[in-house]
Structure 1
Amino acid sequence: MKNFSPKFYLTTLTLLLGLVLFSVYLFRSIYIQQQELINVEENRYNSYLLTTQLRRSSDELTRLVRTYVATGNPMFEKQFLEVLAIRNGEAPLPVHYDRVYWDFLAIEKSTPPYTLGEPASLLSLMESAGFTEDEFLLMEKAQENSDSLVYLEKIAMNAIKGKYLDENGEYSVTGIPDQRMAIDILHSNEYHNAKISIMEPINQFYETLDQRTKAQVDHAAKQLNFTLNIQIFIFTLTVIAILLLMISAKRYHKKMVLRLNQRVNERTDELNISNRDLKKALAEIKALKEKEKRIIFDATVRSAQHILNNLLNQMQYFKMVADETNAFDDEVNEIYKNTIEEGKELVIKLCSVEELTEENIIGSVYPKNGK
């Protein structure tokens, strides 16, 4: 991993992108599997509630018929018939019927705890819940046995009214109400055996339902765990790929910084060398310039010395003539002034050639004779 080529980065990025896309797919799969697991659990719970509803309806019928036989209150007979009508889909099904309902109506003029919904028989609800054929047969058998038990319960309720069965199975025979007969029927071995015949298929259904739904839950949970493990593995690979990219990017950045620093140092050294060479060249140029200026200046001074000597000779000549004649005429005086002005102009020109004072120039022209 010393050198990270563009191909390495492209491969790693492609792998990372693939892992991210696959991770998104796994997240969706996990969500779907979670929903499936929730649906299985809900189906299991709803199936359990429906089965419990059949068992509780049988228990409610027993409680109501025994209470009616003991009290003779027609309210309990009415509730008994309502329980049968609701179970058979002949009366509206109360909302939340799986909760406590009839216990709140044990007193006269009680208000139902829940509103009424649409009529739906218990068997139709079981069919909609997706019961298997074996499970449905068990529930049908339990309800048939419950209907057989209702036959005994109706005999007991009619005995309280003094009505008895005729040969055709109708309650057309009237007589003295017989409460003892009704109580004996509701507590006889026949009644209890009929009750057991209801509970046996219900209990078998519980076992079958538990096995089926447990297998479904286990299968859904197994698939979910497998997908979660894959997701964890993909997440680990994604983290590793990101770390590789970060490490490689850091090393590449460090390498580029070192290269840039090396280039900067090389360019700095080159500039320093060029600067030294330039300074040297400038110094040489300056020296040549100074030498050239000195040569020009020396030549100018020699020329000026020659001119000034001529002017000085002229001035001395005019001075000698003036001394001999003892006076300056106007022409001689004018020539004398012009000579002095020419000498001053020459000195000023020399000052412009070299930054020297007038005294230095005169000293250069006449190093020994300043006058």
Structure 2
Amino acid sequence: MKRTRRRKFPPCGRVGKWASKHSRSGKHMKTKTGKKYWLFHALSILLILMLVALMCLNRGNPDFQNYSNFYWDKDDFLKRQHEMGFFWLTRLGRLLNLTYEQFYTAITGLGLFSLIAWFYRYSKYPALALAFYMVFPFLLDIVQLRNFLVMGIALWAFSLLMEAKEEPTYRYLSLSLLLLAGTIHNTAFIYIPFWLVLQWPSIWVILSSGLAFTVSLLIPRFLTEASLAQSSSHVLQRYAYLFRGQVSLPGRIFFISLSLALCLAVYFIQYSLDQDRLLEAGVKPKAFQSLSQLAKKLSYLSFGLMPLFFQSVDFFRIFRNFLPLYWLLFSIYFLVPLKAQHKRLEKLVLSLFLLGILCVTCYVLLIFSNTDNVIRTVFKENILLRLIELRGQ
């Protein structure tokens, strides 16, 4: 008969104490974490319902009638012949016998689905990111329909571009998405140079930003409102209003401060988080690194476009479309627990800094200049809120 080897165990007392201690703490930690993230799931669902209700059921905003005229061919066709992507979307809506109100609900619903799917791709718990987006620029996106669609496409395009090292086909997919975005709104074609530059190392991105700054500085000297208005190009005629005036000194200080603050925020977020704890917050470390790199490079490029921001606030849409990326990184920072005790004060200070960026941006670009024509109008001209108001009377 074969002799069976007896396994040696530590003294029962030690094993019992160790097992009892760690099983209790592990169970407690699991329960605590589960409850915490269950609340984030519930909050995410609530926020998604609010986003859908406010945007898809909107029936009046500063641009609503203009888009309705576009939909029913009551405007000049020359104004839209260079944006055939959006034109054919409206033709599809009319082919399906939709009214403009129904078309608006359908197209904004698809846009929100794309944006929410993007948030969930990079975080299992996007509640905070959705909340930050609702603060700004969500209300402006309700008004600026085509820009909203471009924003969702651009976020997907550049995020996939950052993952092209692992999946080479993403590079061509991202370029195709940007070309599609350009057919919805011509300003999206400016993202094509971005697509090229963002594939370079950071030092080359910074140098490219310096070159872009020089070019942006010269553009207003050669392009004026009068010259654009007299141009034979209908595309250039449409953008003549952008060169009508200039942003005030406080506005210029704000744009510079915002770009600098976002650049610093991404730097501190990237180097203060414990990479091994990202998974606990539902974030893949590789995805976090690619998003951080993208955000840093976009911050560098924003400095290159600063002269255009000084020319007109509308030029800031080029960079504003990437704010959900920064809000997502902010939310990840809030979610990921820190190991070291001494980092709690650091996290408190940085958290206040991040919230300050959000609040100041919302105040300057939304509340200060758009309270009556955007905020009040959007909440007033909503089917659901109107129904609730009538029921309450």
> Which TM class, normalised by the smaller chain length?
under 0.3
With a CA cutoff of 8 Å and minimum separation of 6, indicate the structure with the bigger relative contact order: 2
Please report the TM-score for the alignment, with normalisation by the length of structure 1: 0.25
TM-score scaled to structure 2, two decimals? 0.24
For the pair shown, the structure with the greater C-alpha radius of gyration is: 1
